Structure 1
Amino acid sequence: MDVAFVTNVVYPFVTGGAQKRVHEIGTRLADRGHDVTIYGRHYWDGPAEMAHEGMTLRAVADAADLYEEEGRRSITEAIDFSVRLLPPFARQVDDHDVVVASVFPYFPVLSSRLATLLRDVPLVTVWHEVWGADYWDDYLGRLALGGKVVERLTAAVPQHPIAVSGVTADKLARMGMGPRRADIEVVPNGIDVDQIRSAPLPDTSHRRDGEPGFDVLFAGRLIADKRVDVLLDAFDRVAEAHDATLGIVGEGPELDHLRERAAGLSNADRVTLLGFLDEYEDVLGQMRAARVFASASTREGFGISCAEAMAADCTVVAADHPDSAASEVVGDGGFLVDPTVEAFARALDDALSGARPPTPPTTRAERFDWDAVATRAEERYRRAVDGEVDDPDVETGATN
């Protein structure tokens, strides 16, 4: 197959879950003999079109800032990329057998659909999240109507949809304007199990306690939905009894608020905010060195950090919430609890006392290895190229 990926940002030049998925699947498809081209912004050094790890990178727009001052993704960036994408992509789309476009943002999907409209080239979409009305209201306020319309319009265009989780697939189907649930295949995000297990342990020479790692770790973007404040308060209740430490990896708009909150804890000296770690392997090393990975996040399109932590053999404590797919990832390889201070404190107490889940975390993590994920994605792309229609009586892609 000749596969074209559309993503405004390209890994590893800009890090992030959606672009990493394209990279990991794309490189594996290239290794298997497929032709792979990525259309994106010119974030890399070198010419606008160049070979990279067996794939072709093709820049259709210059690099641009992805976030506004308020910490929100830039709408103007997404529109600009989509406008710049359409002319060159429409000229070259016939060179490809299938187009794979990431959702979010939405506008590049619409441009991809316009480019394929009069061609016999199927469009596969990858839905990482579905926001819905309530979240748009919180995110954009008076501009929320525009976001709702564009999301629903994107769902309505003819496409071969993939969702990264059952939660996301269900939300997409419930919109009513897009595909049926039976037509949405779940192909989860993935992890490199071998890379995680071999990641170098962190340098702890600067640590006051001299311990190889934190007893409890969180890693993720510091936004309100991650509920790091719940984790802080829960940890404070059990820290002294277990002589435990907490490390928080990440940055985001909640950073200053969380610093203040951590400073006010009874066990403030046991909490370290490490900020953003430039090297991905440094995050993995922190996971390998930790005993427990905890996330009270109530909104996860997938929950990649939980999968990574399980591969690192952490005992995972995660929120059980209808808007989070973390429960699909963790399953019986960790502990799922209500996202409240009381519930998390009890779960942390149990985990720090040595409790382990029914299924070893490392065993659970293996189903999300990128090799297995790439095979499922490849099969989906092939069916789109062959024009096959999914059997509505067949359940697709449950990850539990």
Structure 2
Amino acid sequence: MRIAVVFDCLYPFTTGGGEKQYRQFAEEFAEAGHTVDYLTRRLWEGPDPVLDGVRARAIAPAYELYDREGVRLPATALRFAIDVFRHLVRHRDTYDAVIVSATPVLNVFAARAALAGSGVVLAVDWLEVWTGQQWREYSGPVMGRVADALQQLAVRLSPVALGHSAHTIQGLRANHVPHEPVRSPGLISAVRDVTPRLDTPAGAAPTVLFVGRHIQDKQVDALPPALALARAELPGLRAVISGEGPERDRVIRAAEEAGVREAVEFPGFVEEDELHRLLAEAACLVNPSRREGYGLVVVEAASYGTPSVVIDHPTNASTELIEEGRNGFVARSAAAADLARAIVSAVRGGDALRRTTRDWYEEAIRTRTIANTARGILEALETARTARR
């Protein structure tokens, strides 16, 4: 097939779970023998590159996606949707199938309109499906209701809907998806050369690690007060809070107010090699996020035998990856006492917990891989093409 993957970001020019996921989808499709275009913004200098058999095509300029608070800008979401529409209208005969990310949701309407009557199979990939309350908290009472209504309509206009967690599948059904969505087995990357650290270094101060953007939904400011409580039981405990974002200053203030500023490092965004080192050396990963569509960083940490602490929240799908006491713990909330309790349990789990975490990962890479998910998507596309014929 001739396949287009549509997303406004592309790894490694931009970083994040969605970028890695769509880049890997495209690579798996190309490896299976299909011709693949990755349609995105211009994020590079010079001619369009070919990345591992995938042709990156700039269909839009490199405009900003977020405001200073980390909220997606409606104007640029609309602008990219228009660019998607223009490209697909001009190239209706170029593709047999198009996979469009529903982030942002306007992409769905653009692709559906551009491909109407063309016979091209359209699959919509849903990283998340939000509730009306989430939209109102994110975009305000008016725009939030508009966004919620658009999401409901986009779900109903998804000929082939893809989801990667039970939470997302439930959201698609609740919004009346027209056909049973395709549930992926997982999003674990191909096994890379890693050396899991399964033994606690003698005399080393244990460190907890956060990785990600500093935005409200990540609740990064919950980590310093939890660290302060955990240090009462584990005096040498330290933290590394990597990443950047509009909440960064607030997180630093939280560390100062909790009296743990000297025990916390803020390295910002780090290079891939440094990230792998941090994941390998951490006593545990702590992700107090209340909103995750999958939680890929939990898997990345587990590849090194590093357990994770996440929080129980209705919109946090990463809890589906945690087997309590085997590869981490689920805190009851992001409250300092709850989060500290889970952190202490993970750190005290020591070598035994690191070994069971790595065992969990070894099992997961046999069944929950992104390669298996890509094969399932290709089967769904072929089924849809056959049905249309």
TM over 0.5: yes
Q: What is the CA distance between 1:217 and its match in structure 2?
A: 0.9
Matching of residues 310-349 of structure 1 within 5 Å: 310-331=302-323, 332-339=326-333, 340-349=335-344
8 Å contact kept, 1:217–1:294: yes
* Other-structure match for 1:191: 189
Q: What is the CA distance between 1:370 and its match in structure 2?
A: 10
* Other-structure match for 2:91: 92
Most deviating of 226-235 and 291-300: 226-235
2: CA distance, partners of 1:217 / 1:93: 46
Q: What is the CA distance between 1:161 and its match in structure 2?
A: 0.8
* Other-structure match for 2:129: 130
Matching of residues 66-81 of structure 1 within 5 Å: 66-81=65-80
Q: Residue 251 in 1 paired to residue 250 in 2?
A: no
8 Å contact kept, 1:30–1:36: yes
**Aligned-partner residue type, residue 329 of structure 1:** L
**Aligned-partner residue type, residue 117 of structure 2:** L
* Other-structure match for 2:268: 275
Q: What is the CA distance between 1:294 and its match in structure 2?
A: 1.4
**Aligned-partner residue type, residue 144 of structure 1:** G
8 Å contact kept, 2:3–2:95: yes
How many residues in Structure 1 have an aligned counterpart in Structure 2?
376
2: CA distance, partners of 1:299 / 1:170: 15
SS in 1 for 2:209: strand
8 Å contact kept, 1:21–1:190: no
Most deviating of 311-320 and 353-362: 353-362
* Other-structure match for 2:213: 221
Q: What is the CA distance between 1:358 and its match in structure 2?
A: 9.9
**Aligned-partner residue type, residue 136 of structure 1:** W
Change (3 A) 1:42 1:214: farther
* Other-structure match for 1:206: none
Q: When the two structures are superposed, what TM-score results if normalisation uses the length of structure 1?
A: 0.86
Change (3 A) 1:56 1:369: farther
**Aligned-partner residue type, residue 300 of structure 1:** E
* Other-structure match for 2:120: 121
8 Å contact kept, 1:162–1:187: no
Q: What is the CA distance between 1:193 and its match in structure 2?
A: 3.8
SS in 2 for 1:318: strand
**Aligned-partner residue type, residue 346 of structure 1:** R
Change (3 A) 1:368 1:68: farther
* Other-structure match for 2:285: 293
SS in 2 for 1:94: coil
What root-mean-square deviation, in Å, do the aligned CA atoms of Structure 1 and Structure 2 show?
Answer: 2.7
Cα deviation digits, residues 139-174 of structure 1 (max 9, x gap)? 111322221122112111142111121111111211
2: CA distance, partners of 1:350 / 1:198: 20
1: CA distance, partners of 2:386 / 2:319: 29
Cα deviation digits, residues 364-386 of structure 1 (max 9, x gap)? 23425899322322232223223
Q: What is the CA distance between 1:354 and its match in structure 2?
A: 2.9
SS in 2 for 1:21: helix
Change (3 A) 1:86 1:258: same
Q: What is the CA distance between 1:195 and its match in structure 2?
A: 4.8
Q: Residue 364 in 1 paired to residue 354 in 2?
A: no
2: CA distance, partners of 1:121 / 1:372: 27
Uncovered stretches (5+) of structure 1, i.e. residues with no partner: 200-210, 391-400
SS in 1 for 2:369: helix
Q: Could you tell me the percent identity over the aligned residues? A: 27
Change (3 A) 1:169 1:196: farther
* Other-structure match for 1:107: 106
Q: What is the CA distance between 1:50 and its match in structure 2?
A: 4.3
8 Å contact kept, 2:206–2:347: no
- Which of residues 369, 382, 386 in structure 2 aligns to 1:385? 382
Most deviating of 374-383 and 188-197: 188-197
Q: What is the CA distance between 1:261 and its match in structure 2?
A: 1.0
8 Å contact kept, 2:187–2:369: no
**Aligned-partner residue type, residue 132 of structure 1:** T
8 Å contact kept, 2:284–2:346: yes
Q: What is the CA distance between 1:249 and its match in structure 2?
A: 0.9
Q: What is the CA distance between 1:29 and its match in structure 2?
A: 2.3
Most deviating of 244-253 and 11-20: 11-20
SS in 2 for 1:284: helix
Q: What is the CA distance between 1:359 and its match in structure 2?
A: 7.7
